Structure 1
Amino acid sequence: MLEILILFLALGIVAGLLAGTLGLGGGVVIVPALLMIFPLMDFPAAITAQLAVATSLATIAATSISAILTHQGLGAVRWPVALPISAGILLGAFAGAFFASAISSAMLGRLFGIFAMLIAVQMALSSGRLANGENERLPGRGALALAGSAIGTVSAMFGIGGGSLTVPFLSACGMRMQQAVAISAVCGLPIAVGGGIGFVVAGWHHPELPNGSLGFVYLPAAAGIVLTSFPLARLGARLAHRLPATTLKRIFAGALFLIGLKLVL
């Protein structure tokens, strides 16, 4: 069990850095990692994917709060944009958790793999043309909330913080990368809250839950990941304002594509 705990702590380090630096909730790494770790712990195969996604969402709450505090301190959070998107995300995330609970574990894992590869390709292609904010064209509050509901649904289904969708969306609207990352960090919190509650409710009476679970959330893994992800998210948020995002996005895109390919195969 010591080796498993070390894996959870190491996972938290990577997740925290991703949350702060790229606005990703870390689920793109946490979910596939837990899909490999949980079978080693003899968890039921029928609910492994649901446990991985739900646990990932639980950790995103902590990393989001940590990243939000740092980005806000640096003056990068634009609340008039973040709040309507977050409102839509909260509702979409709750619904997405129930959609994911109704899908077979094997299918959910493969769908996540395909999703990860698509996002990796998108990130690699967009890394060379980051928006500078000069030609920003944001939609109205209603459209932002609608976009948020779609982002929340997909993010909760796959246990991600939403940055892989929120950042490209805001970048496409012409927003500067640092501001898009900061707003994405804000959006991670309603995804975690809405999706996490949904997975707790959906899995509350499941007969195969392992000891230490709250619904589909496996608490020991969530606690171990949060221990390291919370402080590292603050470090990552500071790095986001000092380092060029292009190289980081390309490296992450390559790793994400390989992870997705492994899950699909």
Structure 2
Amino acid sequence: MATLATLAGILLACGLVAGVLAGLLGVGGGIIMVPILYFVFGALDSVDPSVRMHMAVGTSLAAMVPTSIRSAMAHHRKGSVDMALFRRWLPGLLAGVLAGVVFAAWADGPALMGVFAVFAMAVALHMLFGRPEWRLAETLPGVGTQRCMAIAISGVSVMMGIGGGTFTVPTLTLFGYPIHRAVGTAAAVGVLIAIPGAVGFILGGLGAAGRPPGSLGYASLVGAAVLIPATVVAAPWGADLAHRLHPLWLRRAFALFLGATGLRMAFSLIGG
């Protein structure tokens, strides 16, 4: 079994990388935290395999709360958060989070891993091979359709333990949104996913067997305590970097991290 110091060091490094990604891509850092947490929990004999993925998702969402807030504030100061769109999406975002938490509480670990792998790789392929000029339309659809999109984005995101940027960014760019404004708005969306999502996983895991010591529901307080300071410190670094990079490099960075983590989870699932 890995030593506590080694695991803490891995989580600290994970938090720094996740924080930079939160600011850079508006993804809340969960796209990195979930797979790393999954394998870290796998190194602990005290964590039952049946709750390993639930713990990874719940801990990621808990750690994302301050990170997402810090990232959203940094983007808001730069004027890249579309508050009018955020308010339109709010009812759908909350409904999707509720549906995702209910499904996650019912689903087993492999089902959550499958959700993570499939959607992560699908979006990565779009961001890697899609062309900037590709559009579904030049403007967003009506309010009702937008709220349905918000439900789908937040529902899948909370099941994956990731920020809404993973799906908000490509969705908005397909409707003609500039990438930097999409990233900033996605950071705000991530706040509305992380807070109720974390609460849902905490409540859903109360009394569950096989959790590691120091857990509150499906959230590891020890893991979150290591991740949160690192992600909060590093998030503004990513936000500053996002406004210096060419949009093409943002898309490539997004695809690289998304595809790599999705493949890793898929291989783990196939290998049993």
Asked whether the two chains share a fold, i.e. TM above 0.5, the reply is: yes
Partner Cα separation in structure 1 for residue 247 and residue 11 of structure 2: 27
Residues 1:67 and 2:71 aligned together? yes
CA contact (8 A) 2:115 2:159 kept: no
In structure 1, the gaps of 5 or more residues are none
The residue correspondences of 1:1-265 to structure 2 (distance < 5 A) are 1-42=4-45, 43-126=47-130, 128-129=131-132, 136-265=138-267
CA contact (8 A) 1:27 1:56 kept: yes
Partner of 2:270: none
In percent, how many aligned pairs have the same letter?
Answer: 37
C-alpha deviations, 1:200-242, integer Å up to 9, x for none? 1211121322221111011111121111111211111111111
Q: 1:39 to 1:258 in 2, by over 3 A?
A: same
Q: 1:24 to 1:130 in 2, by over 3 A?
A: farther
CA contact (8 A) 2:21 2:27 kept: yes
One-letter code aligned to 2:19: G
TM-score (norm 2): 0.90
Worse-superposed segment, 208-217 or 43-52: 208-217
One-letter code aligned to 2:145: A
Partner Cα separation in structure 2 for residue 83 and residue 172 of structure 1: 20
CA contact (8 A) 1:130 1:171 kept: no
C-alpha deviations, 1:111-155, integer Å up to 9, x for none? 3122221121111023x41689xx851234333322111111100
Partner Cα separation in structure 2 for residue 136 and residue 239 of structure 1: 28
Alignment: residue pair count: 262
Q: 1:251 to 1:176 in 2, by over 3 A?
A: closer
Q: 1:234 to 1:212 in 2, by over 3 A?
A: same
One-letter code aligned to 1:237: A
CA contact (8 A) 1:131 1:176 kept: no
C-alpha deviations, 1:68-91, integer Å up to 9, x for none? 111111111110011222332122
Paired residue secondary structure (2:18): helix
CA contact (8 A) 1:17 1:236 kept: yes
TM-score (norm 1): 0.92
